[in-house]
């Protein structure tokens, strides 16, 4: 059985050759010591930790799972020790401000490292991953006292954080939440209510857990306009920032899940727990989106990591497993059969996984540069443009990368045949773990409505137009490339970008007469945009690979030739899927809405 290995060569290509991060970081004075040598070394050390510490816990953690008792939740054997090593090595503090004990590296470095951790052991990676969102939320919206009291130990990893949104009667529709926050004379609040599906809500890895909780004040308006945000620690924190008495928040139970079994998904009971308001009263949802958007980027990366893990394992198996003969010339005449990698349908599955894994890595790198700009660029206009592009691309990344990650995990299992269905190979675990990414932090349908309804229709296309222009400008710049395949690919991408614009206008006109047209079109619209985005990124990779080969100086010509051939596979075999999505959405809402509810079943 082949274990996960961090794809360092492809990461270095993506970040340093394709997107030139070495020069990207030079535009920010606070990152003047961040260079390629340093970050490549960080990638290498992260790979060592993942492969030597996290990978060995991957299956055992799934088999054992987390254990609930009235005393708390116990993580699987080895997780607490692994987390202590994680903290001691400084991984939680990597991309946080030096003013609060962080190492001051760019956020883009952390997003790259998240892929390695997720692919090695997603359940483990979720514990510090959620803490990251809690840190960003407190840093962006907390008071000086809250930052002083909580941020340092979250950054060090001594404490961890959670996101507490969902209640049993409301998932995505947060306007229905009932958790109450009663004010106290000292400025604190007592929170009462129950939250469900809280990842890492209780565990034995850290000394304290800082819950970021949505609740309602007594005089709050109804709906989303009456939601406030609170810090609620597991243990109260004294004036010196140290753990004090136990707060009235407890884990009532843990969920029995399909996957990510080594991460505790908790029912959290707040029984008059002491909390502290973050941001302005009734403006909590706006503050919470700092956490939500951070988490959505993390989930997108999880989807890409599942594609990489499935691809690595199925590729190794396909090279080793002997079954039948090649239909053409025998590849291994001395053996009883050929390795299954010779068969076209196995190659279809492998190349699909490869194109999604490497395409997702490129999308993460593309978005990560925008995260850096949004966070620290000195020019307000540049920050606003990056923020707009992230607003557009985050729902695409979250939904498309999780959808294709799950597809890739399934294809990886399929490459193994019956052995993929057997637990010890790790393929069925990858499928089970991957499935949640299409659900939490907003389902694919929710992301689609957010993209088309709120981000595009809500801005009258303002956030979409610059992205379309960027794609069209790239196609125009390279349309005369000497490589005929690249020429043809760019012609198709340019056409598809124009198609996306036309579809947007068409949907908008239909929606003026019938608002349901937006919901009916949204999923197919998002998937079309996702396939187009990956095509754009693969075209960028093909152009770069051709440039390197034309220079004639590389010692790894096969690496770059593989980029060109994978780009061609994506364009000819995967990109045509976008046409089916465009045809489907153009049929409108009637075929979805004309069946009466009582006609669905008899």
Residue 510 has pLDDT above 80, yes or no: yes
Q: Domain coordinates of the chain in residue numbers?
A: 456-591
Q: Would you state the pLDDT for residue 338? A: 87
What is the chain's mean pLDDT, rounded?
A: 96
Average pLDDT of 297-308?
96
Segment 115-170, tens digit of pLDDT: 999 999 999 999 999 999 999 999 999 999 999 999 999 999 999 999 999 999 98
Q: Would you state the pLDDT for residue 368? A: 96
Element (H, E) at 228: strand 228-233
- Lowest-pLDDT choice from 197-201, 217-221, 238-242, 388-392: 238-242
For 389-434, the DSSP string reads: HHHHHHHHHHHHHHHHHHHHHHHHHHHTGGGGGSGGGSHHHHHHHH
Average pLDDT of 254-270?
98
Segment 565-600, tens digit of pLDDT: 999 999 999 999 999 999 999 999 999 999 999 999
Q: Would you state the pLDDT for residue 92? A: 95
Residues in the chain: 602
Residue 1 has pLDDT above 70, yes or no: no
The encoded tokens of residue 382 equal: 């540049």
Residue 454 has pLDDT above 70, yes or no: yes
The pTM is what?
0.97
> Is 441 known to be catalytic?
yes
Residue bearing tokens 């193994």: 416
Higher-confidence position of 172 and 597? 597
Q: Would you state the pLDDT for residue 327? A: 78
Percent of the chain clearing pLDDT 70 (strictly above): 99
Widest CA span in the chain: 84
- Identified catalytic residue from 107, 167, 403, 441: 441
User: What is the DSSP pairing of strand 265-278 with strand 189-199?
Assistant: antiparallel
329 pLDDT tier (thresholds 50, 70, 90)? low
Residue 534 has pLDDT above 80, yes or no: yes
330 pLDDT tier (thresholds 50, 70, 90)? low
Percent of the chain clearing pLDDT 90 (strictly above): 92
Residue 5 and residue 456: Cα distance in Å, rounded?
39
Residue 288 and residue 277: Cα distance in Å, rounded?
12
- Lowest-pLDDT choice from 272-281, 290-299, 387-396, 564-573: 290-299
Q: Would you state the pLDDT for residue 2? A: 78
Average pLDDT of 513-517?
96
Residue 89 has pLDDT above 80, yes or no: yes
Residue bearing tokens 């959670």: 162
The single-letter DSSP state of residue 136 is H
């Amino acid at each position: 059985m082949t274990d996960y290995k961090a794809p360092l060569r492809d990461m270095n290509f993506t970040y340093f050759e394709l997107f030139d991060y070495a020069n990207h970081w030079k535009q920010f004075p606070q990152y003047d010591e961040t260079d390629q040598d340093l970050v490549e070394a960080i990638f290498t050390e992260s790979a060592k930790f993942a492969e030597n510490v996290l990978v060995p816990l991957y299956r055992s953690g799934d088999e054992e799972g987390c254990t609930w008792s009235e005393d708390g939740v116990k993580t699987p054997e080895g997780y607490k020790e692994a987390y202590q090593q994680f903290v001691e090595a400084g991984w939680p503090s990597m991309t946080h401000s030096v003013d609060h004990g962080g190492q001051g590296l760019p956020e883009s470095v952390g997003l790259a490292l998240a892929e390695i951790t997720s692919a090695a052991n997603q359940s483990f990676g979720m514990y510090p991953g959620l803490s990251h969102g809690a840190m960003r939320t407190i840093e962006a919206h907390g008071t000086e006292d809250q930052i002083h009291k909580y941020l340092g130990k979250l950054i060090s990893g001594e404490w961890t954080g959670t996101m507490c949104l969902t209640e049993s009667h409301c998932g995505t529709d947060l306007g229905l939440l009932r958790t109450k926050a009663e004010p106290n004379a000292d400025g604190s609040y007592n929170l009462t209510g129950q939250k469900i599906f809280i990842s890492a809500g209780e565990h034995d890895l850290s000394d304290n857990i800082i819950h970021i909780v949505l609740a309602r004040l007594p005089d709050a308006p109804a709906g989303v306009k009456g939601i406030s945000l609170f810090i609620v620690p597991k243990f109260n924190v004294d004036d010196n920032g140290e753990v004090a008495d136990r707060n009235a928040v407890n884990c009532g139970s843990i969920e029995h899940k399909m996957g990510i079994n080594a991460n505790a998904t908790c029912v959290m009971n707040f029984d008059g727990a002491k909390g502290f308001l973050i941001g302005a009263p009734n403006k909590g949802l706006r503050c919470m989106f700092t956490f939500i958007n951070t988490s959505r980027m993390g989930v997108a990366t999880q989807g890409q990591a599942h594609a990489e893990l499935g691809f690595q394992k199925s590729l190794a198996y396909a090279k080793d497993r002997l079954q039948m003969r090649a239909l053409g010339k025998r590849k291994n005449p001395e053996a009883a059969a050929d390795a299954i990698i010779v068969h076209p349908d196995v190659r279809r599955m492998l190349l699909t996984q490869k194109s999604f894994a490497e395409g997702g890595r490129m999308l993460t790198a593309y978005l990560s540069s925008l995260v850096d700009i949004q966070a620290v660029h000195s020019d307000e206009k540049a920050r606003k443009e990056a923020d707009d592009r992230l607003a557009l691309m985050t729902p695409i990344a979250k939904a498309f990368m999780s959808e294709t990650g799950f597809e890739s995990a399934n294809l990886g299992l399929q490459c193994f045949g019956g052995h993929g269905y057997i637990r010890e190979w790790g393929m069925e675990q990858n499928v089970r773990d991957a499935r949640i990414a299409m659900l939490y932090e907003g389902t694919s349908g929710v992301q689609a409505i957010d993209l088309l309804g709120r981000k595009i229709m809500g801005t009258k296309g303002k956030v979409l137009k610059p992205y379309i222009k960027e794609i069209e400008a790239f196609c125009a710049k390279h349309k005369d490339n000497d490589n005929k395949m690249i020429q043809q690919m760019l012609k198709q991408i340019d056409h598809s970008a124009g198609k996306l614009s036309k579809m947007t206008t068409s949907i908008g006109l239909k929606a003026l007469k019938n608002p349901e047209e937006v919901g009916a079109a949204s999923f197919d619209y998002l998937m079309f945009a996702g396939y187009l985005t990956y095509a754009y990124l693969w075209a960028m990779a093909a152009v770069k690979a051709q440039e390197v080969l034309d220079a004639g100086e590389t010692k790894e010509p096969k690496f770059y030739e593989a980029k060109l051939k994978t780009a061609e596979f994506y364009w000819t075999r995967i990109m045509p899927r976008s046409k089916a999505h465009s045809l489907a959405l153009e049929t409108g809402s009637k075929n979805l809405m004309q069946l009466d509810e009582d006609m669905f079943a008899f």
